[in-house]
Structure 1
Amino acid sequence: MESRMPSTPSRRTVLRGLTVTGATVVGFDTAARSWAASAAEPGADLARVPRLDGTLVTDDASLTAAADDYGHIVHRRPSAVLRPGSVRDVVTMVRFCNDQRLPVAPRGQGHAPFGQAQVRGGLVVETAALADIGAVDTAGRTVTVGAGAKWSAVARATLAHGLTPPVFTDYLELSVGGTLSVGGLGGQAHRVGAQVDNVTELRVVTGAGELVRCSPTRRADLFHAVLAGLGQCAVIVEATLRLVPAPQTVRRYQLAYGDLETFLDDQRVLVQEGRFDYVEGQVHADAAGTFGVHVMEAVAYGPPVGPAPDDAALLRGLRHDPASAQIVDQPYYDFLDRLAPVIAAMKEAGIWTFAHPWLNLMLPGRSAAALGAQVLSGLTPAEAGPGAVILFYPLLRDRLTAPLLRTSDDDVSYLFDVLSAAPADDTAAVERLLDFNRSAYEATAAAGGTHYPVGSIRLTAADWRAHFGPAWAALASAKCTYDPRGILVPGQGVFG
């Protein structure tokens, strides 16, 4: 454990520098269960807020923003928002909230779709300020970054040294702490594992307010409980990431298929043989208004990490439509950031403000085609909404080593994403999609699959125990050890 931060100041501590709409926040009224300003009633039983480097805010605009997220479905209003000026602030305020039994949730880019980073009546910690990117260790091939750093910034910083994190989510404007809390999957994961499998060390603040450095050999129980642990045991404030040599260019192949089963079978072949560095696929609407167009996206890295791609060797034996194949070369970072123009167009069209009741499942390989077809048969492109995206990522079980990142027991699983959208004020459409998600989840669970916990599915405590399976006991033990009062991230609903 790191040296313990100075203990929480007594109630006589004078707060300096924390203002809310012109009034000074002096403490937490333990009777009224609310934050108190300098004009608080005389005699109020105040727990004085310690001095901070950043700001603690309770203005309406900040609380309203923290009560929303990318999903625009769940709205839980906190009582305060911390904008930390340092890691010390996170330690101080988590310890304070633990003393007062106030729930706490870290919030990175607010990209959760179902209230996962919200907390009713508690404290939201905005980690975006913790975005420092340390010097790249070119000899050890690592970089240490703040939890609020975006993956786009990490990529640019490491590419300046010819290095790169080995796996990325498709959308780069997510925070490091956010994706490490859920897993961090991308098309490279079949070769190199998820983002959580490429972390060498963490600094975290436990629910008891202790700043701890952990790794596979140092406080390993905490390390493994934090990675893909949904924030249940500690708040990530810093991560050391493994790096690998980066290519300068890549070759992208987009291959069309006429049916889902052949499309998934070829994905399986590619990841088992390791032909490509990146493999995923999309399903689009056809002229008949069904999800009938299947497009494989496979990417081969070029020099200096590999030879120039050989089209004939890479495509040998695949059963795609050769007449529709599209093959392009592009710079590596342009490939990583390929969604930037798509996201810009979505924002311009107003789709970014829609509700996003996303479905993210882990399908067993043996039944992926049947399950995928069953799920998609219950949804039309029109019902999925504007800008909806259907994705399949093939994953090899032996490359995913983080205990809490759950897949099926098959050697190959498929991450299956149905990224729907509906006008936020169309509650009937949103409810239909949430019901659809629950039904799809139940069918998947019955077949031996599970879900990737970044979506919008109504889950019970029993569902969570089933989800974590043999890893549940270790997670529950770590929760009792590191968050004994259960203040961290209640929005996930893992422990009820």
Structure 2
Amino acid sequence: MGSSAHSRRNILRGIGAGAVVVGWNAVTGTWATTSASAEGVIPVPPLDGTLETSPAVLGEFSKDWGGFITATPKAVLRPGSVQDVVKIINYARANCLKVTVNGQSGTADDQESHSFWGNAAVPGGIAIDAKGFSTIHSITSTHAIVGAGVSLHQLSAATLDRGLIVPSQTDYLRLSVGGVASVGGFGGTVPKYGLFSDMIEEVEVVTGAGQVQTASPSVRPDLFNAVINGAGQVAVITKAKVRLMKAPERVRMFTLSYTDLAKWQRDQEFLMRDGRFTHQGGGFSRKPDNSGWWYQIEAGYYYSSPAVPDDAALLAGLNDERSALQVHDHLFRDWTFRVDPGEQAWKDGGFWDGPHPWLHLLVPASKIQTFVPFVLSELQVEQLGAGFTILSPFQTAKVTRPLFAKPNEPVAYLCDLLRMPPPGDPNIQAYLAQNRRFYEKLVSLGGKRYIIGAIPGMTPTQWQRHFGTVWPFLVASKRRYDPDGVLTPGQGFFS
């Protein structure tokens, strides 16, 4: 291929009308165009995709869904190949630049990083648009091989067409496979199957040293364990092999309500041990008459014809307020995409574009009776806005990859405050301060945070405390696979 074709591919667009960037000027900290002096400029290598610098594009990659951190990159790579990522990482290493993958989650008209505190921010660096790896390569009866930029929504649609589904994935599906694999991924089947990241059987990555590697639990397991739940610290995921199972035809959902937290917890853990339900979650919400809180269990029974659920057997031995029981039956495809209408309602109501002070915590089971009353002594239902809560158990042994920090007990609970403040809410900073108080209380009880979420003031020392005994593994992996420290600075683990 001729040099003119390479130069067309290698355009960094938008610095000025017709301007073509030829390289990075480390002296001035700017991209050099063909009209500028070439002195001190290190040429950009030929790319199969494009590197873009228009203000509009940089603006799209400067924010995230949380809405609290704004950090503008110098350029955005739209990769046309894995080799583009190799070249840009090596270029960044040579020029003291940082690189981060941005999942660009969401729908076509509102894509952005679905992180909360600048986790995918790369101020002054290069953002990689994960949508460059949005191909579903193959689907078999046991697994799918997909690009890291494929959303769980796209993957679910494709697998359901074949009667298959990922055993465990997030409830909100417009998230990239690579992004969720990098942090964990909670949904209603975690009690039975583990996190979404536990569904990853193999990855193709480009390390921070610019090497393309394949890793799995049996091939380069150290790299695999540093990538999965590793928050993008050691490598860029470009492709993943994801476990699949046969999808049911229908799901029958039971919403069980309790006024007694202890009874609720006993039933949650009884059901998780019993295993009669495939989906199991829960939360707390105000009673309709505002006289107190309901503690609720959401339990889903998966089935296909000719089977018919036996409601009496499924509810046997439980101690809920049976008069408040709700039962709904759904086609499994409808259930899989159940969050879509709610997302649109949030958008129509103006809740989607504002700040989102979401809190995600992991509570030891032995401390539920202490921590939940502490939260409810301060939390007002108005502080949730149009949002809701999650309080769902999981077996910590089901979480198999080491970098997911979890309480040191057999059972823990995901405790989420998914606040959706109304437009113009003046109390956003108060919600963030409350998040911090709840987090510090939980740490004193032996709990952990989920690494996504809006908790201000995290320091490297606190992150070291968070990772605990696996911190040395994370540090050693960073040094080995990202020796120049170019990847994912926004997470703030090390500085």
TM-score normalised by L of structure 1 = 0.93
Deviation of residue 425 (structure 1)? 6.2
The structure 2 residue matched to 1:20, chosen from 13, 16, 40, is 13
RMSD between superposed Cα atoms in Å: 1.8
Deviations 1:437-459 (A, max 9, x none): 11111111111110111101131
The equivalences for 1:233-312 within 5 A come to 233-286=234-287, 292-303=293-304, 307-312=307-312
> In structure 2, how many angstroms separate the alpha carbons of the residues matched to 1:368 and 1:283?
13
Does 252-261 or 24-33 show the bigger shift? 252-261
Residue 372 of structure 1 corresponds to 372
> In structure 1, how many angstroms separate the alpha carbons of the residues matched to 2:219 and 2:202?
9
Residue identity (%)? 37
Deviation of residue 288 (structure 1)? 6.5
For residue 190 of structure 1, what is the amino acid of its counterpart?
P
The structure 1 residue matched to 2:140, chosen from 137, 141, 151, is 137
8 Å contact kept, 2:201–2:216: yes
Deviations 1:294-349 (A, max 9, x none): 33211011027x95322112111211121221212211121111111000100111
For residue 451 of structure 2, what is the amino acid of its counterpart?
P
Report whether the alignment pairs 1:29 with 2:25: yes
- Give the 3-state SS of the residue equivalent to 1:445 in structure 2: helix
> In structure 2, how many angstroms separate the alpha carbons of the residues matched to 1:391 and 1:20?
44
Deviation of residue 422 (structure 1)? 3.4
With over 3 angstroms needed to count, the CA separation of the structure-2 counterparts of 1:392 and 1:219, relative to structure 1, is same
Residue 180 of structure 2 corresponds to 179
Deviations 1:415-446 (A, max 9, x none): 000112336765x6222111111111111111
Residue 131 of structure 2 corresponds to 128
Report whether the alignment pairs 1:444 with 2:442: yes
> In structure 2, how many angstroms separate the alpha carbons of the residues matched to 1:60 and 1:228?
32
Deviation of residue 44 (structure 1)? 3.0
Residue 115 of structure 1 corresponds to 118
Deviations 1:18-40 (A, max 9, x none): 24123212111111122222222
Where in structure 2 are there 5+ consecutive unaligned residues? 1-5, 106-112
With over 3 angstroms needed to count, the CA separation of the structure-2 counterparts of 1:29 and 1:290, relative to structure 1, is farther
Report whether the alignment pairs 1:475 with 2:471: no
Residue 457 of structure 1 corresponds to 455
With over 3 angstroms needed to count, the CA separation of the structure-2 counterparts of 1:376 and 1:95, relative to structure 1, is farther
Deviation of residue 285 (structure 1)? 2.8
For residue 82 of structure 2, what is the amino acid of its counterpart?
V
With over 3 angstroms needed to count, the CA separation of the structure-2 counterparts of 1:424 and 1:455, relative to structure 1, is farther
> In structure 1, how many angstroms separate the alpha carbons of the residues matched to 2:341 and 2:359?
23
8 Å contact kept, 1:103–1:122: yes
For residue 495 of structure 1, what is the amino acid of its counterpart?
F
For residue 242 of structure 2, what is the amino acid of its counterpart?
L
8 Å contact kept, 2:24–2:44: yes
> In structure 1, how many angstroms separate the alpha carbons of the residues matched to 2:402 and 2:307?
34
TM-score normalised by L of structure 2 = 0.93
8 Å contact kept, 2:138–2:146: no
> In structure 1, how many angstroms separate the alpha carbons of the residues matched to 2:175 and 2:86?
23
Residue 357 of structure 2 corresponds to 357
With over 3 angstroms needed to count, the CA separation of the structure-2 counterparts of 1:393 and 1:478, relative to structure 1, is same
The equivalences for 1:33-112 within 5 A come to 33-40=29-36, 42-108=37-103, 109=105, 110-112=113-115
- Give the 3-state SS of the residue equivalent to 2:226 in structure 1: helix
Query: How many residues are matched?
Result: 478
Report whether the alignment pairs 1:484 with 2:477: no
Deviation of residue 219 (structure 1)? 1.0
Deviation of residue 136 (structure 1)? 1.2
> In structure 2, how many angstroms separate the alpha carbons of the residues matched to 1:367 and 1:107?
36
8 Å contact kept, 1:168–1:336: no
- Give the 3-state SS of the residue equivalent to 1:182 in structure 2: coil
8 Å contact kept, 1:14–1:48: no
> In structure 2, how many angstroms separate the alpha carbons of the residues matched to 1:128 and 1:423?
31
With over 3 angstroms needed to count, the CA separation of the structure-2 counterparts of 1:197 and 1:291, relative to structure 1, is farther
> In structure 2, how many angstroms separate the alpha carbons of the residues matched to 1:356 and 1:241?
30
Residue 465 of structure 2 corresponds to 466
8 Å contact kept, 1:359–1:437: yes
For residue 112 of structure 1, what is the amino acid of its counterpart?
S
